[in-house]
Amino acid sequence: MSIQAVGAVAALNALYLAVGASLLWVVRSAGTWIDVVRLLGLAYVVGLVLTGLAWSFLLIAGVPFSLAVVLGVPILVTAGLLALGRARRRSLPTGARVDGGSSLVVTAVGVAAAGVLLEALLRSARLSGLYWFDGWSFWIPKAKAIYFFGGLDEQFFTELPGASYPILVPALDAAVFHVVGSADVLALHFQYWLFALGFVWALAGLLSERVPAWILWPCVLLLLVAPRIGRRFQVTEADLFLDYLFVLAAVLVAFWIVDGGRWRLLVAALLLCAIVNTKREGLLLATVLLAAALIATSRRWRARWPAIGIVALVAVAAAVPWRLWYVSRDVEGESGSQGLIRGDGRDLLWPSVRRSLDVLWDPGYWNLIVPVFIGALAVAALARVGRLAVFSGALVAFVVAGGVWATWNFSQTGAGFVLGGNFVIRFMGAAALLCAATAPLLLSAAWPTTRSEPRAGASRRVGLAAVIATLPLLAYPAITIAADGLPRFPTRDDCSRPARAGAPDVEVVYGRFDDPRSADQLLARLTAVGFVGAESAFDPCGRWKVSYDSVASFEQARELAEQVRTAGFEATVEYRS
Amino acid sequence: MRSVSWWTEWPDGPIRTGVVFLVATVVVAVAIVYPQVLRELGRDATENSAQSYADREIAGGNGIVVDQAAVYAARALIPEDARYHVTVGDDYVGSTLTRDHVASYFRYFLMPRRPAETAGWVVCYGCDRSEYGDRADVLWTDGGELSIVKVER
């Protein structure tokens, strides 16, 4: 991944942000500039899924997926939304008043702590290879197929494992390949880190509307340090991405249940459309989310259920095109060959329940997220929080039940293990992330007083908060650069290290080749004119190196290199590798 | 400073106590784990940075392809518009991981080249090359069980 690739991916993501910010401007009142910053993460995620869905539908319709489409779709969508906003006489945001006080200082500490962790995650992820089985087995091959063949290539999209999985994530990955200019898999780690950043920002921004900082930020940090969440941000698979969308949709629906804000349901509907186009589990997650919403609004069903019904219809409509595509090509359905209910295996039901609950409870995966959620649910029940507690509790219970069902139905042992991975752990990620997102919501709803008036002296704390938030964010990269030097952008030329005069352990390199035959040919030509003793060997950069390493000193190597060059070949003196 | 009754008086007191207890638990859990996570991420970054180009590019395939040179040779030798087939011989003595997944890994690595059963290019893991007879031209071999063969069809 080059520095240019980083810039290209950043620019692409800026387009997502533009789409989402435009959409939020159209669907909700402008508010203040502080609101805009608070909802910047949500805007990014919304823009991402709206653009990704548009690309997915174009791909299904057979439109060639080119760089022009990659750039044109978000630009046109943004322009259309801005025109719509003007037509609806939307005004620009006004004012930027920040409520000072201790809450702002806590927010600053939370932003700094979360920010440093995210920086460390980026540093770790940037030069990681692609290790994840499903990633190289089918997610990335699908993206490569879209990139190389300009669409849903019949062979790859019907023969790859997980052929029935929807194409939203491969389309987003393929867009990265287009802007980078090659199928640079390493660039995806940066993209997936941006997904994570957008999600964390979106979640914190949404929750901060109702959750005081002293409850919110510890929970956000708990989410980030959970081994199966934060440490997997760079994994180039769709599991965590699906969970992001599901959790954000759940929070938006929870808020809608409480305050009836129509824009929240609209955005949640868009996220649900993306959920059903991300993974097959998305269908299940979307269903349980809407079922929990029905339960939580049952006392006001006349007013709320029609809206939920419309959202369900929209999500179903969004799910249909991809299903038509793969069914028309005889791809095995998303329920697998065994169907939705297995006829045998009653004896596996209890092991499935135990396995699912064990996974969800395991602090080795989720730290204390689940115990804290259960505690929050109990406190919320004690405080008679009502609809929020019903919705959160029902939704988590439904997701767990879904995990039990999937474990029972799809695994051979009831333990949730299948070839190539352990799906019950991945599926329970949705429940754990949901617990992390709803626990602070429940705690703040239970807390008897959550709002306090800004006190005198608050304005000074704005400056203090700014310093607290930004100093660690600047200090962490500065410290790592001081310790390890500037970030490296490795290339295949890294193996070529010209030696300085007088250097020990040198060799004379006659050439490096992608094709082993070219290396053998050079070796033969060198031998034919008398330069014997050289050899061709595979180097750590994936090339065949033709070199001679039986030289006693730098001077001897330099003399040999000059003789070889005089004979019409290339030769450099390099450090021996 | 709040009075004791503020924390204990029913019904709000126990609720406040419960909320504060849970948030304090989270703060303690984060405080314990945070430095450890930061250290681990730093260590991961150092390890990832120290990897060779080939180790990083092959990554998940390092435990599968046996010899990195095999995938690079295949990418160099097989034209982008050609079809290829990865075959593992019945007598191949390598690991189950290789036997089960090497074809899948090559499919990922060699794209846009297409896999096909009857392809002219064969990536051979311990296969019997004699079955191709005079039609086979071995273009690369690791000197052992791995080879890349061009077969006249």
Which phi-psi region, left, alpha or beta, contains residue A533 (left: φ > 0; alpha: ψ -120 to 50)? left
Q: Which amino acid is at A112?
A: A
CA A434 – CA A445 distance, rounded (Å): 16
A554 belongs to a structural domain: yes
Contacts of B49 in chain A (CB under 8 A): 127, 484, 488
Contacts of B56 in chain A (CB under 8 A): 127-129, 186, 490
Residue A424, pLDDT > 90, answer: no
Is B16–A183 a contact, with Cβ atoms under 8 angstroms apart? no
CA A539 – CA B73 distance, rounded (Å): 12
In a shared domain, residues B133 and B101: yes
| Contact status of B9 with chain A (Cβ, < 8 Å) | no
In a shared domain, residues B84 and B144: yes
A485 belongs to a structural domain: no
Which residues are bridge partners to B6 per DSSP? none
Closest chain A residue by Cα to residue B34: A225
Is A225–B51 a contact, with Cβ atoms under 8 angstroms apart? no
| Contact status of B107 with chain A (Cβ, < 8 Å) | yes
CA A567 – CA B9 distance, rounded (Å): 96
Query: How close, in Å, is residue B8 to chain A by CA atoms?
Result: 13
Is B48–A214 a contact, with Cβ atoms under 8 angstroms apart? no
- Name the more confident of B36 and A332: B36
Contacts of A120 in chain B (CB under 8 A): 37-38, 41-42, 45
Is A538–B68 a contact, with Cβ atoms under 8 angstroms apart? yes
In a shared domain, residues A520 and A458: no
Q: What is the pLDDT of residue A421?
A: 47
In a shared domain, residues B95 and B138: yes
Q: What is the CATH number of the domain that holds A497?
A: 3.30.70.1070
Residue A67, pLDDT > 70, answer: yes
CA A389 – CA A380 distance, rounded (Å): 6
In a shared domain, residues A254 and A383: yes
Residue of B5, B86, B111 to mutate, testing the A interface (most A Cβ within 10 Å of its Cβ): B111
Q: Which of A241-245, A251-255, A538-542, B93-97 has the lowest mean pLDDT?
A: B93-97
In a shared domain, residues B34 and B68: no
B41 belongs to a structural domain: yes
Closest chain B residue by Cα to residue A160: B104
In a shared domain, residues A408 and A511: no
Relative to beta strand A506-513, strand B146-151 is: unpaired
Q: What is the pLDDT of residue A461?
A: 83
Residue in the structure block whose two tokens are 């990418």 = B75
In a shared domain, residues B31 and B94: no
Per the structure, how many domains does chain B have? 2
- CB-based contacts of B18, cutoff 8 Å, min separation 6: A375, A378, A379, A382, A446
| Contact status of B22 with chain A (Cβ, < 8 Å) | yes
Query: How close, in Å, is residue B56 to chain A by CA atoms?
Result: 5
- Name the more confident of A205 and B134: A205
The count of residues in chain B is 153
A484 belongs to a structural domain: no
Closest chain B residue by Cα to residue A218: B27
Query: How close, in Å, is residue B25 to chain A by CA atoms?
Result: 8
Q: What is the biggest distance separating any 2 CA atoms in chain A, rounded to whole angstroms?
A: 93
Q: What is the pLDDT of residue A218?
A: 97
In a shared domain, residues B34 and B83: no
Q: What is the pLDDT of residue A450?
A: 45
Burial track A499-508 (b if 16+ CB lie within 10 A, e otherwise): beeebeebbb
Q: What is the pLDDT of residue A453?
A: 52
Per the structure, how many domains does chain A have? 2
Is A225–B33 a contact, with Cβ atoms under 8 angstroms apart? yes
DSSP state, residue B136: E
B10 belongs to a structural domain: yes
A480 belongs to a structural domain: no
In a shared domain, residues A466 and A518: no
End-to-end CA distance of chain B: 88
Residue A94, pLDDT > 50, answer: yes
> Which residues between 61 and 80 in chain B have a beta carbon less than 8 angstroms from any beta carbon of chain A?
61, 68-69, 72-73, 75-77
A382 belongs to a structural domain: yes
Q: Which amino acid is at A506?
A: V
In a shared domain, residues A551 and A423: no
Is B19–A379 a contact, with Cβ atoms under 8 angstroms apart? yes
Q: What is the pLDDT of residue A552?
A: 85
In a shared domain, residues A408 and A502: no
Confidence of residue A386 (pLDDT cuts 50, 70, 90): confident
Average pLDDT over residues A500-528: 91
B122 sits in which H/E element: strand B121-125
- The backbone torsions φ and ψ at residue A165, rounded to the nearest 5 degrees and listed phi first, read -65, 135
- Name the more confident of A277 and A457: A277
Q: What is the pLDDT of residues A457-484, one digit of tens each?
A: 555 688 889 999 999 999 999 999 998 8
Residue of A215, A538, A577 to mutate, testing the B interface (most B Cβ within 10 Å of its Cβ): A538
Question: Range of B93's domain?
Answer: 61-151
In a shared domain, residues B65 and B106: yes
| Contact status of B139 with chain A (Cβ, < 8 Å) | yes
Is A132–B60 a contact, with Cβ atoms under 8 angstroms apart? yes
| Contact status of B16 with chain A (Cβ, < 8 Å) | yes
In a shared domain, residues B23 and B85: no
In a shared domain, residues B77 and B134: yes
Contacts of B149 in chain A (CB under 8 A): none
Q: What is the pLDDT of residue A419?
A: 40
In a shared domain, residues A440 and A532: no
Query: How close, in Å, is residue A313 to chain B by CA atoms?
Result: 37
Q: What is the pLDDT of residue A377?
A: 95
CB half-sphere exposure, A379, CA atoms < 13 A: 29
B56 belongs to a structural domain: no
The count of residues in chain A is 577
Judge if the upstream peptide bond of residue B112 is cis by omega within 30 degrees of 0: yes
Percent of chain A at pLDDT > 70 equals 95
In a shared domain, residues A410 and A550: no
In a shared domain, residues A417 and A548: no
A233 belongs to a structural domain: yes
Average pLDDT over residues A98-108: 85
B110 belongs to a structural domain: yes
Question: Range of A269's domain?
Answer: 3-91+98-472
Average model confidence (pLDDT) across chain A: 91
Size of interface A-B (CB pairs under 8 A): 176
CA A380 – CA A375 distance, rounded (Å): 8
Q: What is the pLDDT of residues A288-313, one digit of tens each?
A: 999 999 999 999 998 999 999 999 99
A486 belongs to a structural domain: no
CA A9 – CA B25 distance, rounded (Å): 39
Confidence of residue A274 (pLDDT cuts 50, 70, 90): very high
In a shared domain, residues A459 and A514: no
Residue A456, pLDDT > 70, answer: no
In a shared domain, residues A535 and A463: no
| Contact status of B138 with chain A (Cβ, < 8 Å) | no
| Contact status of B41 with chain A (Cβ, < 8 Å) | yes
Alpha-helical segments (H) within A88-212:
102-126, 133-134, 140-149, 154-159, 168-180, 185-207
Is A124–B56 a contact, with Cβ atoms under 8 angstroms apart? no
Contacts of B44 in chain A (CB under 8 A): 124, 128
Residue of B9, B12, B16, B26 to mutate, testing the A interface (most A Cβ within 10 Å of its Cβ): B26
Considering only CA atoms, which of A327, A340, A338 is closest in space to residue A284?
A: A340
B55 belongs to a structural domain: no
Per-10-residue mean pLDDT of chain B, 153 residues long, equals 82 90 97 95 92 94 94 96 94 88 96 93 88 84 91 83
Considering only CA atoms, which of A452, A387, A20 is closest in space to residue A205?
A: A20
Q: Which amino acid is at A92?
A: L
| Contact status of B58 with chain A (Cβ, < 8 Å) | yes
A479 belongs to a structural domain: no
Considering only CA atoms, which of A170, A115, A112 is closest in space to residue A138?
A: A170
Q: Which candidate from A124, A443, A446 shows the least CB-CB separation from B41? A: A124
In a shared domain, residues A448 and A522: no
In a shared domain, residues B42 and B117: no
In a shared domain, residues B85 and B13: no
Closest chain A residue by Cα to residue B60: A131
In a shared domain, residues B71 and B36: no
- In terms of pTM, does the model score above 0.80? yes
Contacts of A542 in chain B (CB under 8 A): 53-54, 57, 68, 72
| Contact status of B46 with chain A (Cβ, < 8 Å) | yes
Is A490–B107 a contact, with Cβ atoms under 8 angstroms apart? no
